[in-house]
Amino acid sequence: MEFYDYRFMEIARPIIEHKEYQQMKYIKHHDESVYEHSVKVAYSSYQIAYKNNLDWVSTIRGALLHDFFLYKFKKSLSPRIITDSIKHAITHPLIALENSKKYFDLNDKEKNIIKGHMFPFGLPKSKEAWIVSYSDKYIATMEYYSNFKKITKRKIHAFNAD
């Protein structure tokens, strides 16, 4: 794991070391695992919340748990891709919230961070929830871009090899 500061790790450690949370390391998400994605979103969100004197503890916890849905969302190039993606956008925060409540005690702000992170399908009700929603979208976009670059390089390499 790359370096994260002591404040972040003090709050994150009990969640990221939990055996159920560790399962997220084996679920692919964008160009990496759900675990890696969630930790990046949490750290980015924490940095913004901390610098703005917001509730950075709830920000870290909510962000770490925002994608705690524990299944692989299967995308396929079929006519149902749009409806399947919308359904996932609506349901996965609710599933993540239910999973989170099974293993962790959450405050109302953390619950809303998890439930509201997929704006406009969910509604963030605090500055911290908006920060996590934004960080999630930004990081997911960068992950998709990274994956697109890798695929494009492979295709160009294969084309030039012919």
Contacts of 13 (CB under 8 A, 6+ apart): none
Report DSSP state, residue 54.
S
pLDDT value, residue 155: 63
Backbone angles phi, psi at 131, to 5 degrees: -60, -45
Supply the pTM of this predicted model: 0.85
pLDDT value, residue 32: 83
What distance in Å separates the CA atoms of residue 64 and residue 135, rounded to the nearest whole number? 12
Q: Are 21 and 31 in contact (CB under 8 A)?
A: no
The domains of the chain, with CATH numbers, are 6-161 (1.10.3210.10)
- Taking only the tens place, the pLDDT of each residue in 27-54 is 886 778 999 999 999 999 999 999 999 9
pLDDT value, residue 47: 97
- Taking only the tens place, the pLDDT of each residue in 64-119 is 999 998 766 555 555 666 676 677 677 888 999 999 999 999 999 999 999 998 88
